[in-house]
Amino acid sequence: MNRREFARLLAIGGAVPFVTPELSWARAAKLPPTPASPDEKFWLSVRDQFVMPKDLTMLNAANLCPSSGPVLDTLYKMTRDMDQDPSMDNRVKLGEGRENTRKLLAEFLRVTPEEIVITRNTSESNNLVSTGVDLKAGDEVLLTADNHPSNHTAWQQKAKRFGFTVTDVPVPNPHPGFDHYVEAFSKAITPNTKLIAFTHLTSTVGDLFPAKEICKLARDRGILTLVDGAQTFGLLDVDLSDIQPDFYSGSAHKWPCGPKENGVLYINKSAQSKIWASIYSAYPGSVGVSRSFEGFGQRDEPAMIAFGEALKLQTQIGRAQIERRSRELTQALIQGLKKIDGVKIWTSPEPSRAAAVLSFQPGGLDVRKLSTALYQKDRIGCATRGGQDRPGIRFSPHFYNTHADVEKTVAAIKKYMATGV
Ligand SMILES: Cc1ncc(COP(=O)(O)O)c(C=O)c1O
Protein backbone atom coordinates (compact mmCIF):
# COMPACT_ATOMS: atom_id res chain seq x y z
CA MET A 1 0.00 0.00 0.00
CA ASN A 2 1.44 3.37 -0.91
CA ARG A 3 1.09 6.52 1.19
CA ARG A 4 -1.81 7.88 -0.89
CA GLU A 5 -3.81 4.67 -0.57
CA PHE A 6 -3.11 4.59 3.16
CA ALA A 7 -4.34 8.20 3.55
CA ARG A 8 -7.45 7.41 1.48
CA LEU A 9 -8.32 4.45 3.70
CA LEU A 10 -7.89 6.60 6.79
CA ALA A 11 -10.06 9.35 5.29
CA ILE A 12 -12.98 7.01 4.53
CA GLY A 13 -12.69 5.42 7.94
CA GLY A 14 -12.13 1.96 6.55
CA ALA A 15 -10.21 -0.76 8.28
CA VAL A 16 -6.50 -0.20 7.85
CA PRO A 17 -4.34 -3.27 7.83
CA PHE A 18 -1.40 -2.76 10.15
CA VAL A 19 1.62 -1.93 8.10
CA THR A 20 5.10 -1.94 9.49
CA PRO A 21 6.07 1.71 9.29
CA GLU A 22 9.24 2.39 7.43
CA LEU A 23 11.97 3.70 9.65
CA SER A 24 11.86 7.32 8.65
CA TRP A 25 15.37 8.17 9.81
CA ALA A 26 18.32 7.61 7.61
CA ARG A 27 20.90 5.11 8.79
CA ALA A 28 24.01 7.01 9.85
CA ALA A 29 27.36 6.00 8.46
CA LYS A 30 29.46 4.02 10.90
CA LEU A 31 31.18 6.32 13.36
CA PRO A 32 34.95 6.31 12.84
CA PRO A 33 37.20 5.70 15.85
CA THR A 34 37.76 8.88 17.85
CA PRO A 35 41.13 10.41 16.92
CA ALA A 36 43.47 11.47 19.73
CA SER A 37 42.69 15.09 18.81
CA PRO A 38 39.27 15.03 17.15
CA ASP A 39 38.84 17.62 14.40
CA GLU A 40 35.65 19.26 13.08
CA LYS A 41 35.29 16.48 10.50
CA PHE A 42 35.05 13.89 13.26
CA TRP A 43 32.43 15.92 15.15
CA LEU A 44 30.43 16.27 11.93
CA SER A 45 30.34 12.50 11.73
CA VAL A 46 29.04 12.48 15.31
CA ARG A 47 26.37 15.00 14.25
CA ASP A 48 25.40 12.58 11.47
CA GLN A 49 24.44 9.99 14.09
CA PHE A 50 21.45 12.19 14.94
CA VAL A 51 18.28 12.48 12.90
CA MET A 52 17.86 16.24 13.35
CA PRO A 53 17.74 18.07 10.01
CA LYS A 54 21.06 19.65 9.11
CA ASP A 55 19.79 23.24 9.35
CA LEU A 56 18.57 22.85 12.93
CA THR A 57 20.95 24.09 15.61
CA MET A 58 19.87 22.70 18.97
CA LEU A 59 21.49 24.48 21.90
CA ASN A 60 19.19 23.15 24.58
CA ALA A 61 20.87 20.01 25.92
CA ALA A 62 20.18 21.15 29.49
CA ASN A 63 16.48 20.65 28.77
CA LEU A 64 16.13 17.76 26.30
CA CYS A 65 18.62 16.13 23.96
CA PRO A 66 17.78 14.21 20.81
CA SER A 67 18.28 10.46 20.87
CA SER A 68 20.82 9.25 18.36
CA GLY A 69 19.95 6.95 15.44
CA PRO A 70 21.39 3.87 17.23
CA VAL A 71 19.23 4.62 20.29
CA LEU A 72 16.11 5.04 18.14
CA ASP A 73 16.88 1.82 16.26
CA THR A 74 17.26 -0.14 19.51
CA LEU A 75 14.10 1.35 20.96
CA TYR A 76 12.12 0.46 17.85
CA LYS A 77 13.62 -2.98 17.43
CA MET A 78 13.11 -4.03 21.04
CA THR A 79 9.58 -2.59 21.20
CA ARG A 80 8.63 -4.39 18.01
CA ASP A 81 10.13 -7.63 19.28
CA MET A 82 8.16 -7.37 22.52
CA ASP A 83 4.88 -6.54 20.80
CA GLN A 84 5.31 -9.28 18.22
CA ASP A 85 5.63 -11.80 21.02
CA PRO A 86 4.66 -10.49 24.46
CA SER A 87 4.94 -13.90 26.10
CA MET A 88 6.85 -14.04 29.36
CA ASP A 89 9.24 -16.47 27.68
CA ASN A 90 10.14 -13.96 25.01
CA ARG A 91 10.45 -11.17 27.56
CA VAL A 92 13.17 -12.94 29.54
CA LYS A 93 15.74 -11.23 27.34
CA LEU A 94 14.23 -7.83 28.12
CA GLY A 95 14.85 -8.38 31.82
CA GLU A 96 18.43 -9.33 30.97
CA GLY A 97 18.74 -6.19 28.86
CA ARG A 98 17.62 -4.06 31.79
CA GLU A 99 20.30 -5.63 34.00
CA ASN A 100 22.85 -5.01 31.27
CA THR A 101 21.90 -1.32 31.32
CA ARG A 102 22.42 -1.33 35.09
CA LYS A 103 25.94 -2.67 34.50
CA LEU A 104 26.59 -0.04 31.84
CA LEU A 105 25.35 2.69 34.20
CA ALA A 106 27.64 1.41 36.95
CA GLU A 107 30.64 1.46 34.60
CA PHE A 108 29.66 4.89 33.33
CA LEU A 109 29.50 6.35 36.83
CA ARG A 110 32.38 4.17 38.13
CA VAL A 111 30.41 2.49 40.87
CA THR A 112 28.82 -0.98 41.24
CA PRO A 113 25.57 -2.31 39.72
CA GLU A 114 24.44 -3.06 43.28
CA GLU A 115 24.23 0.72 43.86
CA ILE A 116 22.15 1.59 40.78
CA VAL A 117 18.39 2.13 40.57
CA ILE A 118 16.90 2.77 37.13
CA THR A 119 14.18 5.37 37.58
CA ARG A 120 12.05 7.51 35.27
CA ASN A 121 14.07 10.72 35.53
CA THR A 122 15.96 13.05 37.86
CA SER A 123 12.72 14.38 39.35
CA GLU A 124 11.74 10.90 40.44
CA SER A 125 15.23 10.09 41.70
CA ASN A 126 15.39 13.29 43.80
CA ASN A 127 11.93 12.66 45.21
CA LEU A 128 12.73 9.05 46.08
CA VAL A 129 15.47 10.49 48.30
CA SER A 130 13.44 13.28 49.90
CA THR A 131 10.60 10.88 50.66
CA GLY A 132 12.78 7.92 51.58
CA VAL A 133 15.25 9.31 54.11
CA ASP A 134 13.91 9.27 57.68
CA LEU A 135 13.76 12.91 58.81
CA LYS A 136 11.71 14.38 61.62
CA ALA A 137 11.09 17.52 63.63
CA GLY A 138 14.39 18.99 64.77
CA ASP A 139 16.31 17.74 61.69
CA GLU A 140 17.56 20.15 59.05
CA VAL A 141 18.31 19.86 55.33
CA LEU A 142 20.62 22.33 53.58
CA LEU A 143 19.74 23.29 50.00
CA THR A 144 20.95 25.83 47.51
CA ALA A 145 18.57 28.46 46.21
CA ASP A 146 19.26 27.45 42.60
CA ASN A 147 18.18 23.82 43.01
CA HIS A 148 15.58 22.59 40.51
CA PRO A 149 12.01 22.32 41.94
CA SER A 150 12.40 18.53 42.15
CA ASN A 151 15.22 19.17 44.64
CA HIS A 152 13.91 22.38 46.21
CA THR A 153 10.11 22.58 46.22
CA ALA A 154 10.08 18.84 46.93
CA TRP A 155 12.20 19.30 50.08
CA GLN A 156 10.14 22.31 51.17
CA GLN A 157 6.89 20.36 50.84
CA LYS A 158 8.22 17.29 52.60
CA ALA A 159 9.57 19.52 55.38
CA LYS A 160 5.96 20.64 55.94
CA ARG A 161 4.76 17.08 56.00
CA PHE A 162 7.48 15.49 58.16
CA GLY A 163 8.31 18.48 60.36
CA PHE A 164 12.01 18.99 59.55
CA THR A 165 13.38 22.36 58.40
CA VAL A 166 15.13 23.42 55.21
CA THR A 167 17.73 26.18 54.89
CA ASP A 168 18.95 27.71 51.62
CA VAL A 169 22.63 28.43 51.10
CA PRO A 170 22.66 31.57 48.90
CA VAL A 171 24.01 31.45 45.34
CA PRO A 172 25.80 34.72 44.52
CA ASN A 173 26.41 35.83 40.94
CA PRO A 174 29.00 35.80 39.46
CA HIS A 175 30.14 32.39 40.73
CA PRO A 176 32.45 33.21 43.66
CA GLY A 177 34.62 30.08 43.30
CA PHE A 178 34.77 26.62 44.87
CA ASP A 179 36.27 27.82 48.17
CA HIS A 180 33.33 30.12 48.73
CA TYR A 181 30.88 27.21 48.62
CA VAL A 182 32.93 24.91 50.79
CA GLU A 183 33.08 27.67 53.39
CA ALA A 184 29.42 28.62 52.97
CA PHE A 185 28.27 25.02 53.54
CA SER A 186 30.73 24.59 56.36
CA LYS A 187 29.31 27.65 58.13
CA ALA A 188 25.71 26.69 57.43
CA ILE A 189 26.01 23.21 58.99
CA THR A 190 24.48 22.96 62.46
CA PRO A 191 24.27 20.01 64.88
CA ASN A 192 20.80 19.36 63.39
CA THR A 193 21.93 19.12 59.75
CA LYS A 194 21.19 15.64 58.46
CA LEU A 195 21.43 16.05 54.70
CA ILE A 196 22.80 18.45 52.07
CA ALA A 197 21.04 18.50 48.67
CA PHE A 198 22.73 20.55 45.98
CA THR A 199 23.01 20.70 42.19
CA HIS A 200 26.26 19.64 40.56
CA LEU A 201 25.83 22.06 37.65
CA THR A 202 22.89 24.45 37.91
CA SER A 203 20.31 24.75 35.16
CA THR A 204 19.78 28.42 35.95
CA VAL A 205 23.13 29.95 35.02
CA GLY A 206 25.41 26.92 34.79
CA ASP A 207 27.30 27.25 38.08
CA LEU A 208 29.50 24.22 38.76
CA PHE A 209 29.57 23.19 42.43
CA PRO A 210 32.53 21.56 44.20
CA ALA A 211 30.75 18.25 44.55
CA LYS A 212 33.66 16.22 45.86
CA GLU A 213 34.58 18.81 48.49
CA ILE A 214 31.00 19.34 49.71
CA CYS A 215 30.46 15.56 49.92
CA LYS A 216 33.66 15.17 51.95
CA LEU A 217 32.71 18.00 54.28
CA ALA A 218 29.33 16.33 54.86
CA ARG A 219 30.73 12.81 55.21
CA ASP A 220 33.24 13.94 57.85
CA ARG A 221 30.28 15.21 59.90
CA GLY A 222 28.00 12.21 59.35
CA ILE A 223 25.69 14.18 57.01
CA LEU A 224 24.13 12.60 53.92
CA THR A 225 24.46 14.18 50.46
CA LEU A 226 22.20 14.26 47.42
CA VAL A 227 23.95 15.52 44.30
CA ASP A 228 21.50 16.44 41.54
CA GLY A 229 23.40 15.40 38.44
CA ALA A 230 20.76 16.24 35.82
CA GLN A 231 23.23 18.64 34.20
CA THR A 232 26.41 16.62 34.60
CA PHE A 233 25.36 13.03 33.84
CA GLY A 234 26.41 12.51 30.21
CA LEU A 235 28.18 15.87 29.99
CA LEU A 236 31.09 15.66 32.42
CA ASP A 237 33.25 12.59 32.82
CA VAL A 238 31.61 12.05 36.24
CA ASP A 239 33.38 9.66 38.60
CA LEU A 240 31.20 8.89 41.61
CA SER A 241 33.93 6.76 43.18
CA ASP A 242 35.87 10.01 43.50
CA ILE A 243 33.00 12.35 44.43
CA GLN A 244 31.52 9.85 46.91
CA PRO A 245 28.01 11.23 47.33
CA ASP A 246 25.37 9.22 49.16
CA PHE A 247 22.87 9.82 46.34
CA TYR A 248 23.31 11.05 42.75
CA SER A 249 20.48 11.54 40.25
CA GLY A 250 20.29 11.95 36.47
CA SER A 251 18.04 11.69 33.40
CA ALA A 252 18.60 9.68 30.23
CA HIS A 253 16.94 12.25 27.99
CA LYS A 254 19.35 15.05 28.79
CA TRP A 255 23.09 14.90 28.15
CA PRO A 256 23.29 11.09 27.67
CA CYS A 257 20.97 11.48 24.62
CA GLY A 258 18.97 8.48 25.71
CA PRO A 259 15.25 7.75 25.53
CA LYS A 260 12.61 9.69 27.44
CA GLU A 261 11.35 8.57 30.87
CA ASN A 262 14.51 6.84 31.98
CA GLY A 263 16.80 8.01 34.73
CA VAL A 264 19.23 6.92 37.38
CA LEU A 265 19.50 7.07 41.13
CA TYR A 266 22.84 6.05 42.59
CA ILE A 267 22.61 4.96 46.22
CA ASN A 268 25.99 4.54 47.86
CA LYS A 269 26.34 1.16 49.62
CA SER A 270 26.98 2.97 52.87
CA ALA A 271 23.66 4.87 52.59
CA GLN A 272 21.42 1.97 51.61
CA SER A 273 20.34 1.25 55.19
CA LYS A 274 19.36 4.92 55.62
CA ILE A 275 16.68 5.13 52.93
CA TRP A 276 13.25 3.54 52.56
CA ALA A 277 11.80 2.54 49.22
CA SER A 278 8.75 4.64 48.29
CA ILE A 279 7.17 2.16 45.91
CA TYR A 280 6.67 -1.53 46.59
CA SER A 281 5.46 -3.61 43.70
CA ALA A 282 6.41 -6.47 41.42
CA TYR A 283 9.40 -6.84 39.07
CA PRO A 284 12.29 -5.31 41.04
CA GLY A 285 15.83 -5.33 39.71
CA SER A 286 18.10 -8.33 40.19
CA VAL A 287 21.05 -7.05 42.20
CA GLY A 288 21.86 -4.97 45.26
CA VAL A 289 19.64 -2.06 46.17
CA SER A 290 17.50 -2.50 43.04
CA ARG A 291 16.06 -5.70 44.59
CA SER A 292 14.27 -3.74 47.29
CA PHE A 293 14.13 -0.27 45.73
CA GLU A 294 13.23 -0.82 42.09
CA GLY A 295 9.99 -2.79 42.32
CA PHE A 296 8.11 -0.24 40.22
CA GLY A 297 5.76 -2.72 38.48
CA GLN A 298 5.82 -3.22 34.71
CA ARG A 299 8.48 -1.09 33.04
CA ASP A 300 9.26 0.00 29.50
CA GLU A 301 12.19 -2.37 29.18
CA PRO A 302 12.88 -1.57 25.51
CA ALA A 303 13.50 2.04 26.59
CA MET A 304 15.77 0.87 29.40
CA ILE A 305 17.78 -1.15 26.89
CA ALA A 306 17.96 1.85 24.56
CA PHE A 307 19.28 3.85 27.54
CA GLY A 308 22.21 1.42 27.63
CA GLU A 309 22.76 2.00 23.92
CA ALA A 310 23.07 5.75 24.56
CA LEU A 311 25.74 5.12 27.19
CA LYS A 312 27.62 2.83 24.79
CA LEU A 313 27.71 5.54 22.12
CA GLN A 314 29.13 8.07 24.57
CA THR A 315 31.67 5.56 25.85
CA GLN A 316 32.69 4.71 22.29
CA ILE A 317 33.25 8.38 21.45
CA GLY A 318 35.05 8.97 24.74
CA ARG A 319 33.53 10.75 27.69
CA ALA A 320 36.52 12.98 28.31
CA GLN A 321 36.38 14.01 24.62
CA ILE A 322 32.66 14.79 24.91
CA GLU A 323 33.23 16.95 27.97
CA ARG A 324 36.14 18.73 26.25
CA ARG A 325 34.11 19.36 23.10
CA SER A 326 31.05 20.76 24.93
CA ARG A 327 33.26 23.00 27.01
CA GLU A 328 35.16 24.19 23.92
CA LEU A 329 31.91 25.13 22.13
CA THR A 330 30.71 26.96 25.27
CA GLN A 331 33.94 28.93 25.49
CA ALA A 332 33.60 29.85 21.80
CA LEU A 333 30.04 31.07 22.45
CA ILE A 334 31.20 33.11 25.46
CA GLN A 335 34.01 34.70 23.46
CA GLY A 336 31.58 35.61 20.66
CA LEU A 337 28.84 36.95 22.94
CA LYS A 338 31.32 38.95 25.04
CA LYS A 339 32.11 41.11 22.03
CA ILE A 340 28.47 42.14 21.51
CA ASP A 341 27.56 45.48 23.14
CA GLY A 342 24.84 45.18 25.77
CA VAL A 343 25.12 41.42 26.37
CA LYS A 344 25.52 40.52 30.04
CA ILE A 345 26.77 36.99 30.66
CA TRP A 346 25.61 35.39 33.92
CA THR A 347 27.79 32.28 33.59
CA SER A 348 31.37 32.30 34.79
CA PRO A 349 33.88 32.32 31.91
CA GLU A 350 36.23 30.43 34.27
CA PRO A 351 36.15 26.76 33.10
CA SER A 352 36.61 25.45 36.65
CA ARG A 353 33.36 27.15 37.69
CA ALA A 354 31.18 26.26 34.70
CA ALA A 355 30.80 23.66 31.95
CA ALA A 356 28.33 23.76 29.04
CA VAL A 357 25.31 25.64 30.39
CA LEU A 358 25.59 29.30 29.43
CA SER A 359 23.10 32.02 30.17
CA PHE A 360 23.10 35.72 29.36
CA GLN A 361 20.88 38.77 29.23
CA PRO A 362 20.56 40.21 25.73
CA GLY A 363 20.37 43.88 26.76
CA GLY A 364 16.78 45.10 26.88
CA LEU A 365 15.46 42.61 24.31
CA ASP A 366 12.35 40.62 25.20
CA VAL A 367 13.76 37.13 25.70
CA ARG A 368 10.57 35.31 24.69
CA LYS A 369 10.41 37.22 21.42
CA LEU A 370 14.11 36.71 20.87
CA SER A 371 13.93 32.96 21.40
CA THR A 372 10.94 32.71 19.04
CA ALA A 373 12.82 34.68 16.39
CA LEU A 374 15.91 32.51 16.87
CA TYR A 375 13.84 29.38 16.37
CA GLN A 376 11.57 30.57 13.57
CA LYS A 377 13.99 32.67 11.54
CA ASP A 378 17.37 31.17 12.35
CA ARG A 379 16.48 27.57 13.31
CA ILE A 380 18.23 27.82 16.67
CA GLY A 381 16.64 26.10 19.67
CA CYS A 382 17.38 27.47 23.15
CA ALA A 383 15.70 28.10 26.52
CA THR A 384 14.61 31.31 28.23
CA ARG A 385 14.47 32.49 31.81
CA GLY A 386 11.96 35.20 32.69
CA GLY A 387 11.53 37.29 35.84
CA GLN A 388 13.92 39.71 37.50
CA ASP A 389 16.52 37.25 38.76
CA ARG A 390 19.21 36.71 36.10
CA PRO A 391 16.75 36.68 33.20
CA GLY A 392 17.82 35.82 29.68
CA ILE A 393 18.61 33.17 27.14
CA ARG A 394 20.26 29.84 27.93
CA PHE A 395 22.45 27.99 25.44
CA SER A 396 23.67 24.49 26.26
CA PRO A 397 25.78 23.02 23.44
CA HIS A 398 26.67 19.35 23.28
CA PHE A 399 28.79 16.93 21.25
CA TYR A 400 26.38 17.06 18.29
CA ASN A 401 27.01 20.80 17.85
CA THR A 402 29.66 22.30 15.61
CA HIS A 403 31.66 25.49 15.39
CA ALA A 404 29.39 26.48 12.48
CA ASP A 405 26.48 26.36 14.97
CA VAL A 406 28.40 28.68 17.28
CA GLU A 407 29.22 31.16 14.51
CA LYS A 408 25.64 31.17 13.25
CA THR A 409 24.32 31.73 16.79
CA VAL A 410 26.69 34.57 17.67
CA ALA A 411 25.88 36.25 14.34
CA ALA A 412 22.14 35.94 15.03
CA ILE A 413 22.41 37.49 18.52
CA LYS A 414 24.56 40.27 17.10
CA LYS A 415 21.93 40.96 14.44
CA TYR A 416 19.01 41.12 16.91
CA MET A 417 20.99 43.25 19.37
CA ALA A 418 21.58 45.74 16.54
CA THR A 419 18.13 45.66 14.94
CA GLY A 420 15.78 44.50 17.74
CA VAL A 421 13.20 41.70 17.47
C1 LIG B 1 19.23 20.45 37.86
C2 LIG B 1 18.00 19.74 37.42
N3 LIG B 1 17.45 18.82 38.22
C4 LIG B 1 16.36 18.12 37.86
C5 LIG B 1 15.76 18.33 36.66
C6 LIG B 1 14.55 17.53 36.29
O7 LIG B 1 14.83 16.69 35.24
P8 LIG B 1 13.69 15.72 34.67
O9 LIG B 1 12.64 16.60 34.08
O10 LIG B 1 14.39 14.89 33.67
O11 LIG B 1 13.18 14.95 35.82
C12 LIG B 1 16.27 19.29 35.79
C13 LIG B 1 15.64 19.57 34.50
O14 LIG B 1 15.98 20.47 33.78
C15 LIG B 1 17.42 20.01 36.20
O16 LIG B 1 17.98 20.94 35.40
Give the position, in ligand 1's atom list, of the atom nearest the Cα of 202.
1
The Cα–Cα gap between 323 and 366 comes to 32
Share of the chain above pLDDT 90, in %: 93
Burial classification of residue 328, based on how many CB atoms lie within 10 Å of its CB (0-12 exposed, 13-18 middle, 19 or more buried): middle
Q: For 274-319, write each residue's pLDDT tens digit.
A: 999 999 999 999 999 999 999 999 999 999 999 999 999 999 999 9
User: Is the Cβ–Cβ distance between 297 and 339 less than 8 Å?
Assistant: no
The Cα–Cα gap between 202 and 253 comes to 17
What is the enclosing helix (H) or strand (E) of 139? Answer: none
HSE-up (13 A, CA, CB side) for residue 177: 3
Indicate the pLDDT class of residue 26, thresholds 50, 70 and 90.
low
Q: For 206-258, write each residue's pLDDT tens digit.
A: 999 999 999 999 999 999 999 999 999 999 999 999 999 999 999 999 999 99
User: Is the Cβ–Cβ distance between 68 and 49 less than 8 Å?
Assistant: yes
Indicate the pLDDT class of residue 13, thresholds 50, 70 and 90.
very low
Radius of gyration, CA atoms only, the chain = 23
Q: What SS3 class is residue 247?
A: strand
Give the position, in ligand 1's atom list, of the atom nearest the Cα of 125.
11
Check residue 207 and give its pLDDT: 98
Q: Is 396 in the pocket of ligand 1 (CB under 6 A)?
A: no
Indicate the pLDDT class of residue 334, thresholds 50, 70 and 90.
very high
Check residue 6 and give its pLDDT: 43
Q: Residue 10 pLDDT > 50, yes or no?
A: no
Check residue 216 and give its pLDDT: 98
Q: Is 232 in the pocket of ligand 1 (CB under 6 A)?
A: no
Query: Taking the C-alpha atoms of 245, 249, 255 and 260 in order, what is their torsion angle to the nearest 10 degrees?
Result: 160
End-to-end CA distance of the chain: 47
Kindly give the distance from the C-alpha atom of residue 211 to the centroid of ligand 1, in angstroms, as a whole number. Answer: 17
Check residue 103 and give its pLDDT: 98
Of the residues 203, 204, 207, which should be mutated to test ligand 1's pocket, given the most ligand atoms within 8 Å of the CB?
A: 203
Mean pLDDT within 91-102: 98
Which parts of 145-210 are beta strand (E)?
165-169, 193-199
Q: For 110-124, write each residue's pLDDT tens digit.
A: 999 999 999 999 999
Indicate the pLDDT class of residue 15, thresholds 50, 70 and 90.
very low
Mean pLDDT within 347-375: 98
Share of the chain above pLDDT 70, in %: 94
User: Is the Cβ–Cβ distance between 307 and 252 less than 8 Å?
Assistant: yes
Of the residues 127, 150, 236, which should be mutated to test ligand 1's pocket, given the most ligand atoms within 8 Å of the CB?
A: 150
Check residue 125 and give its pLDDT: 99
- What is the average pLDDT score of the chain? 94
Of the residues 60, 119, 123, which should be mutated to test ligand 1's pocket, given the most ligand atoms within 8 Å of the CB?
A: 123
The Cα–Cα gap between 283 and 104 comes to 20
Residue whose CA is closest, atom 16 of ligand 1? 203
**∠55-410-420 over CA atoms, to 5°?**
100
